[in-house]
Structure 1
Amino acid sequence: MKRRLGTRWAGLVLALALAGVSGCARQRVLTVPDAEARLRADIEEILDNPAFASGHWGVVIQSLRDGHYLMRRNPHKAFMPASNLKLFTTATALARLGPDFRYVTRLFRTGPVVDGVLHGDLVIRGVGDPSITGRYHEGDPLAVFRGWVDSLKSRGVRRIAGRIVGDDNWFEEEILGAGWSWDYESDWYAAQISALSFNDNCVDIVYTPGPVPGSPVKYELIPNTRYVEIDFRVVTVRPGLEKEITYQRKRAANLVRIDGSLPAGGESRRDWFSVENPTRFAAVVFREVLEASGIQVDGNAWDIDDLPDYTYPDSCPVATYTSPTMAEICTAINKVSQNLYAELVLRTLGKQFRDVGSAAKGIEVVKEFVSEIGIDPQELVMVDGSGLSRYNYVTPNSIVTLLRVMRRHPVGRYFYDSLPIAGVDGTLKRRMQGTPAEGNVRAKTGYIENARALSGYVTTADGEELAFSLIVNNYTVPTSLANDAQDLICQRLASFSR
Structure 2
Amino acid sequence: MMGSLLLPLLLAGAPVEAPLPPAAMEALAKAPPGTRIGLVVVDPEGGEIVALRPDERFVPASNTKLFTTAAAFATLNVATPDVSGGATVRLEGQGTPTVILAGHGDARLSSAPDCRVDCLAELATAVARRTRAVGDVVGDDTAFPDERWPKGMSWNNMSGAYGTGISALTLDDNVATLTVTPTAPGAPPRVVGDGYYRIDNAATTGAAGGARTLSVERMPGSDLVRVTGSLALATAPVVLRLGVDDPAHRAAWRFAQLLRAAGVTVTGRITVRHRSLTDADDPVRRGGRPVAVVAPVPVLASLTPPPLAEDLRETNKTSQNLHAELLLRRLGPSGSVADGHAVVDTVLARAGVPRATYDFADGAGMSNYNRVTPRATVALLRWAETQPWGAAWLATFPVAATDGTLARRFVGTPLAGRLMAKTGTLNAANALAGTMIAASGRMLTFAAYANDMADDASATAAIDAALVAIAAAN
The answer to whether TM tops 0.5 is yes
Q: 1:90 aligns with which of 45, 69, 77?
A: 69
Task: Report if aligned partners of 1:59, 1:72 keep a CA contact under 8 Å in 2.
Answer: yes
Q: Does 1:276 align with 2:245?
A: yes
Aligned counterpart for 1:123 among listed residues 100, 103, 110:
100
Separation in structure 1 between the aligned mates of residue 387 and residue 218 of structure 2, nearest angstrom? 43
Deviations 1:17-76 (A, max 9, x none): xxxxxxxxxxxxxxxxxxx97x62221222233x4441211000011x211211001111
1:61-140 matches, within 5 Å, as 61-63=41-43, 65-100=44-79, 102=82, 103-111=85-93, 119-133=96-110, 140=115
Supply the distance in 1 between the matched residues of 2:56 and 2:451 (Cα, whole angstroms): 11
1:177 aligns with 2:177: no
Query: What is the 5 A alignment of 1:89-488?
Result: 89-100=68-79, 102=82, 103-111=85-93, 119-133=96-110, 140=115, 144-153=119-128, 155-160=129-134, 162-210=135-183, 212-214=184-186, 216-221=188-193, 224=194, 226-304=195-273, 305=285, 306=287, 307-311=289-293, 313-351=295-333, 356-476=334-454, 479-480=457-458, 482-488=459-465
**Aligned in 2, Cα 1:124/1:313: closer, same or farther, shift over 3 Å?**
farther
1:43-54 pair list within 5 angstroms: 43-49=24-30, 51-54=31-34
Query: How many Å apart are 1:374 and its aligned residue?
Result: 0.6
In 1, Cα distance between equivalents of 2:147 and 2:116: 24
Paired residues of 2:125 and 2:259 also in contact (CA < 8 A) = no
Structure 1 pair 127–152 and aligned structure 2 pair: CA distance change class (3 A): same
Deviations 1:414-440, CA, capped at 9 Å, x for gaps: 211111111111111111112212111
CA distance in 1, matches of 2:137, 2:363: 30
Shift of residue 390 of structure 1? 0.8
Alignment of 1:6-17 (within 5 A): none
Contact preservation (8 Å) 2:25, 2:466:
no
Question: Where is the helix percentage greater, Structure 1 or Structure 2?
Answer: 1
Displacement after TM superposition at 1:133 (Å): 3.3
Identity %: 33
Give me the TM-score of the superposition, normalised by structure 1: 0.84
The change in CA–CA distance for 1:334 and 1:309 in structure 2 (over 3 A counts) is same
- TM-score, normalization: structure 2? 0.88
Gaps of 5+ in 1: 1-10, 13-35, 113-117
Q: Distance in 2 between matches of 1:347 and 1:264?
A: 45
In structure 1, how many angstroms separate the alpha carbons of the residues matched to 2:340 and 2:165? 17
State whether residues 164 and 302 of structure 1, in contact with CA within 8 Å, keep that contact through their aligned partners in structure 2: yes
User: Secondary structure at 1:484's aligned position in 2?
Assistant: helix
Deviation at 1:164, TM superposition (A): 0.8
Cα pair 1:122 1:165 within 8 Å, conserved: yes
1:236-295 Cα distance to aligned partner (Å, 9 max, x none): 111343342211113312111111111111122222111221111111110011112321
Q: Assess if the C-alpha contact under 8 Å between 1:81 and 1:451 holds in 2.
A: yes
**Aligned amino acid, residue 461 of structure 1:** A
- The whole-number CA distance in structure 1 between the counterparts of 2:389 and 2:132 is 47
Query: In the alignment, residue 354 of structure 2 is paired with which amino acid?
Result: D
Unaligned runs of 5+ in 2: 4-17, 274-284
- Cα displacement (A) at 1:492: 2.5
Q: Residue 309 and residue 323 in structure 1: after superposition, are their counterparts in 2 closer, same or farther (change >3 A)?
A: same
**What is the Cα deviation at residue 463 of structure 1?**
1.6
- Matched-pair contact (CA < 8 Å) for 1:423–1:432: yes
In 2, Cα distance between the equivalents of 1:484 and 1:321? 44
The alignment partner of 1:104 has SS state of coil
Q: Assess, with a 3 A threshold, how the Cα gap between structure 1 residues 453 and 139 changes in structure 2: closer, same or farther.
A: farther
User: CA contact under 8 A between 1:141 and 1:199: conserved in structure 2?
Assistant: no
Q: Which of 324-333 and 71-80 deviates more?
A: 324-333
The one-letter code matched in structure 1 to 2:216 is Y
- Shifted more, 299-308 versus 311-320: the winner is 311-320
Secondary structure at the aligned position of 2:454 is classed as coil
Aligned residues: 443
Query: Structure 1 residue 309: deviation in Å?
Result: 1.6
Matching residue of 2:469? 492
Matched-pair contact (CA < 8 Å) for 2:55–2:357: yes
2:342 & 2:473 partners in 1: Cα distance?
Answer: 39
Instruction: Tell me, yes or no, if the aligned pair for 2:311 and 2:323 is still in contact at 8 Å.
Output: yes
**Residue 422 of structure 1 contacts residue 440 of structure 1 at CA under 8 Å; is this kept in 2?**
yes
- In the alignment, residue 86 of structure 1 is paired with which amino acid? K
CA separation of 1:334 and 1:92: change in aligned 2, threshold 3 A: same
Partner of 2:12: none
Equivalent pair of 2:109/2:172 in contact (CA under 8 Å): yes
